[in-house]
Each structure stands twice: as C-alpha cells, then as structure tokens.
Structure 1
C-alpha cells in the first residue's frame, strides 16, 4: 500500500498561508505508532487532530471505525473537506474502499463507519484501547483530556501523545502522571517527540472541570477601577439550584465565569476583555449622552453578538445589564461553547443563545445592532493576524447598516485600518500600552 500523501491535505476553512500546513511530523509519528500497534480502528480514539491528518492517514491504511474529537469547528470542517477530496464522501464509501483493499471476502467491513466525530465524553472513549493525542497548548486542557481517558477508556488503554519539542514541557508529563502509572517520553524525531502513558488510574472523584470564579466590578469608572476582581467559587456553589445561580449572576457588582479545560484564559477574564468591559461599564454609567457609544450600549431590545465569545464574559456582562436585549454568543471552540453555556446558566441568563460556529457563518447577514469583538492573534502556536481579520470581516457581514462593532485588540496590530475598510468609520475610544478599543459604524 502506498504511503499516505499528507501534502494533499488543506486547512480550509481555517487560514491558509505559505508558512502554515495541515500536518506536521508529530502527526506522522502518531500514525506510525498506530499502524504498528495491532489495534483495530474501532478501538482507537484520536484527539486534537487539527485538520484530519491522523484520522485520514489511518483510514486510508484500512483502519475504519476511528473515533475523533476536534475542539475547533474549523478543524471538523477541514477534516470533512479533506475526506471528500480523498474520495471519502461518507463512512460507507470509506469502509468499502478499506475493506476491498484488505480482502474481498470481508463483507462486515462494509458496515463499519470510516470515522465518527464525538465530544470529549464517555461516548468517545468507552471501549477505546489506544488514544492518539496532539498535545494541547494548555495544561488545563491536557488535565481534562487525561481525566476523561482515565475515567472512560478501556482499563488497559494506552495513550500516545505527541508535540513539537519546542512546545513541550516537563509539566505536561506531571499532568499525565496524575492519571497513568507509567509515563515514558520517547526519543525526539524531526523536532517532534512522543510520550507513551500506560496503566491508567481511575479517578475516584468528580471531573475537574468546569471551574468557576465570581468576578465583581467596582462602580467607579476610572481606568484602574475597571479591572474586575475575581473570587473563587466552590463546586457546591456552581452546582446550586437555578434560582440561586440567578441571584448570584444578577447581583449588581459582577458575574460568575465558568470554564472547561480547553477554554482560553480559563475562568479568568483576559486582559483585553477587561479593558473592553471597563469601557462598556463607563459608557453604561452615562445615563444622558448624545454620543452614539452610550446610545448603542444602553438601548434596550437590541440584537447583540459576542463574536468569538470564549467563556462568555462579554455576552454575560451585556445580558445582565440589558435583559431586554437578544444576545448571541458564538465561538469555533467546543470547549469555549461548553464554558459559555455554563457561564450563562450560572448567571441565570435565559436571553443568551450560545452557538458552535466558525465566525458566525450560520447567522444571517445584518443581524446585529452591536457586535462585541476581542479577536485572537494566534493560530495554534503561530502568531498571525489573519485570524483576527477573519473575525473582523465576519463582524462587518453580521452588522446591519448603522450598527456598531466594538473591538479590543493588541495595540501593535493594524486592526483599526482593517475595521475602517471592512466595517466603516472607526474611532479610537481607549488606548493603553497593550490594548486599543475602537468603535466602528457600519456603512
């Protein structure tokens, strides 16, 4: 059987660029380990397969039935597109091809799906004997993944995790040792390294996520006073009745923020969001003003979109202050969406719709009166402004004429020019050494 041609894979609908490709050496090493493991595809789970390289290479080698979890919806769509480009249009077709390559007399193979998408839960991992993992960036996400494997995979399951050497740390090994009796790093190859973990330890307590913190906002509007304070919330408080959660969330001085392991910034409020929340609070405090900023943030009954919502801090803060508004929070990360939904529940917010989507692609053009945007400037481990530009373009599409886009971004980025081009007249509202807040009016 010929070797799998990784160069045929694409990142679309994620950003394509000359310095970005849809696979790396880690993918190839993980595929090689799986091919020699002697384990059927139906007993293999793949986690963190960014664009489908691992899943499709194993499928192409005649291993149908693989279960795969990808946090980003862009990765899920890229996997589907790459599968179609390889002639794998659905599970039956892929299984038929794999079965015909193995042996013509294996009719049962025709009914095995090529791969199945799943969330990070029991259905993904029950009966799994081999887990292939592209190591995540955050230790919290690794902690959640390792806990799920130890909790639900087969008792003799083996985890093979890999990453680029420059991004790997000893702390990752320590996280894995909480859940596995043996953690053995392998020799580095082509600037990548694998870590093999065996002898899983079943957790005897509840899952470690979501975590929660309560963030209170002072009434003063000075720049220094706008930074939210955080107080840790116990699991018992998080699991309180919906009535109690509503009382907590609707308190005058703040909100409860929840986070699963893969959510950016966890249950903290990242610095950029803090700055935008402070500006929102400042304008909301001005009950009488002729400026459009105050009008846009105070008018009831508006449709507001938190684009790239993360754990939902902006959406929750706006919805708490404006219960008559319709608020949509959307993100491409499944972990972020789970976190945002938990945040809305913890704050008793029924007027916020949280969706898993790529740059609001499922939302109709011109839906929003106001878009709140804190765009990323990383694509995985790579620094790239293209991710932010994609969300700015989406914000322009989603905003009605005369509507507004409020954006916070790192001050060194040239997003103001992009906002002016894509949305309309853009005014700088606040600028610090690190962050800039702008208001754009949709032309």
Structure 2
C-alpha cells in the first residue's frame, strides 16, 4: 500500500484504516483530496477557521493542520484514522475539534471543505446544516467527476447558492458554492412502519436502507432467536437497530448491545428502541465503535450480523473478516455467531476456516443465513 502522499506540495505519511486490511492497493487519499487542497492553498490561503466534512482518513486534516480545523464525521473509523495520521506526521498538537454527524456545526468559520459522500441523503443532511450558517461562507466540495450528477448540483442550489464546477483533473472535480442563510431543514430522520409489527422505525440520513426494510434484514428476521433465556446478544453493524429490536421483542430476558461505526446508525437504533420498546431500554447498550475492538472479554452468548462488503466506494471483504474474527474472540465458549450474507460471498467457507464449523439455517436465491459456534 502506498502511504507516501504529497498534498499541496508537502510530504505526508497517510495510512488507511483499519491498518490490517488485506487489500493493500487501497490508499488513504485520492485525486479529489489533492485537487481540493491545491485549490485551497492557491485561493484561500488566508482562511484560518476551516470546517472539514467527510475527511475519510485524515488527508485534509493533516494538510490543513496549521489552521484551526473542525472535523465533522459520521465514521468512528475515520476518527481513528485522522488521530493516527496526525500522530504519524507529528501533528498531534494541531488545533482540531472533532464533531459527530449529529452535532450542530460551529458558526465561527471562514471556509468549508467537503468531500462528497457516496450517500446523497447524507450530503443533503450536511448541506441543510450549512444552510443555517451565516451567508457568504465559501464552500468547496470535491469528488470523482463521474459521481457528480445533476442531482448533486441541485442539492447545492436548494440549500446553498447556485454552484459552479471546475474542470476535471485526474478524473476529479470541484464544486464551488457559498452559504446562503436559507436555514432549510433536511427531511431526515425519515420514519416508516415496520411490516407485520406495530413498530415504527426512524432513520437518520446515513443509515443503510433508510427508506424501507432492506431485503436482507427482512429475510434475517425469520431466523432470529426466541425464548426466555437471558442471553447476552450483540447486534453488530446494527444500522437502525431493526435486528436487535426484533430480538428484544422475541426474547423478554435478553440484553442487547447495539454496535455500529456510524454515529447516525447508533442514534437511530437508540431512538427506535426508545420509541418502540421503551421498557426495554434498560436492557440495551448503544455503542459507536470499530466493529468489536475492545470487546474480547465480554462473553457474549450470541452475535447477530449482516456484514457490509464495501467501505465508502471500495468493495472489500476486510470489514466482514474483522467482524468474524472479533466475534469469535468476544463470544463465550459455546456462543454463536449468526449472520446473513449474499450467497455469492461464500461466507460459509470463511466461517468454517475460522470456527471449524458452520451450518446453514436458511437460504433463498439471494441470501443465506449461517451459524457458527465457538468451540475452542
């Protein structure tokens, strides 16, 4: 993996997170980062209080470390990456304030730099917050040219001023706009009734399948545990918490820990338990974390998981592998990891190699539900 970056004419060492992922061809910055920083240092050198949104691994933060920066991220992994990369580049004393995606943006800023997220709803949510700031603060967004659509520019027009775009450089492009003090609310969170239940699910902008029950979860619900055993359950990669919610509904004595690396996901899960099963909140924990890092000695009885197979725009299985390995460490002897995955991903082979066993609980044309038991 390439870790030597040159950003705005300065050398940096930048690591992509998690550090031990197997795909070493992926790097911690891209041409959009380079283009954005070159423009900022050429045209906004006097900007001192900079709001940085969606800096995936800290490239922008490191290059702008001599400014007073406020970093906004929905990702726990991104937070770990920026902290690590600041330290590696001996910039740990930089003035960087970190805000969750659920926090209000600061008002005392003179420049906004934004990496376009993959999720259009998340972008709209972020632009809505920017629309409530004072007018005429420059906003510079960067992304791959092929991912900047007419709808992207319409979102800027709706919440900010009419945008303009740069020429494409290395297949990346910049969007230029300004805050307009329109103070427009976003449509998030969105809510909808959960089929075949009395529950209503609330979903923040960056929650997976935020507009309806995804087909994987719909199938997985048929294979959730039930009964009166007081199991310690972990909903790993919980999203809006629907799997943990249905587990609580089927298991009156269970406790459930909801874990996701997205702040919006954890917030949505907490809201959904509070709204739908308020009497069970005492049986729950809600944690933003990098998978199960730090949970090795928890002694979980059951871990439920629908693992992702991408990180931002990169298709990769390293997150699933991390989840499986850490799940084995977090389970008690005799504990179970129960997952759902696309059949073509062949998770059964991975679980057999790791656990020494795997059985199929159910499958259809697209998904398979698998169970592995910790025996040693």
The 8 Å contact of residues 104 and 129 in structure 2, kept in 1 or not, is answered as no
Structure 1 residue 365 corresponds to structure 2 residue 297: yes
Task: Tell me: CA distance 1:378–1:186, structure 2 relative to 1, closer, same or farther (3 Å).
Answer: same
Q: TM-score, normalised by structure 2?
A: 0.91
Task: Tell me the TM-score normalized by structure 1.
Answer: 0.78
Match of 1:87, SS? Answer: coil
The worse-fitting range, judged by mean Cα deviation, of 253-262 and 9-18 is: 9-18
1:121 shift after superposition: 5.4
Equivalences for 1:158-307 in 2 at 5 Å?
158-203=138-183, 206-217=185-196, 253-280=197-224, 297-307=226-236
Report 1:2-21 matches (<5 A): 3-6=9-12, 8-13=13-18, 15=21, 17-21=23-27
Distance 1:330 1:414 in 2: 24
- Tell me which residue corresponds to 1:45: 51
Counterpart-to-counterpart distance in 2, 1:122 and 1:431: 41
Partner of 1:239: none
Mapped contact 1:332–1:357 kept (Cα < 8 A): yes
Conservation of the 8 A alpha-carbon contact between 1:125 and 1:149: no
Q: Which residue of 2 aligns with 1:103?
A: none
Deviations 1:194-248 (A, max 9, x none): 11112524225x542211111122xxxxxxxxxxxxxxxxxxxxxxxxxxxxxxx
2:264 to 316, 320, 335: 335
Asked if the contact 1:181–1:201 (Cα under 8 Å) also holds between the matched residues in 2, the reply is: no
2:336 corresponds, among 397, 404, 407, to 404
- Once the two structures are superposed, residues 248-303 of structure 1 have per-residue CA deviations (whole angstroms, 9 ceiling, x without a partner) of xxxxx2422211111111142211111111222xxxxxxxxxxxxxxx54243110
> Which ranges of 4 or more aligned residues in structure 1 deviate by more than 6 Å?
none
Count of residue correspondences: 364
Q: What's the counterpart of residue 4 of structure 2?
A: none
- Structure 1: tracts of 5 or more residues without a match: 95-113, 218-252, 281-295
* Mapped contact 2:300–2:330 kept (Cα < 8 A): yes
* Structure 2 residue 77 is the aligned partner of structure 1 residue 74: yes
**Which structure 2 segments of 5+ residues have no match?**
1-6
Structure with more helix by fraction:
1
Find the aligned partners of 1:149 and 1:194 in 2 and give their Cα distance. 18
Distance 1:365 1:322 in 2: 23
Q: Which has the larger radius of gyration?
A: 1
Structure 2 residue aligned with 1:106: none
CA RMSD of aligned residues (A): 1.9
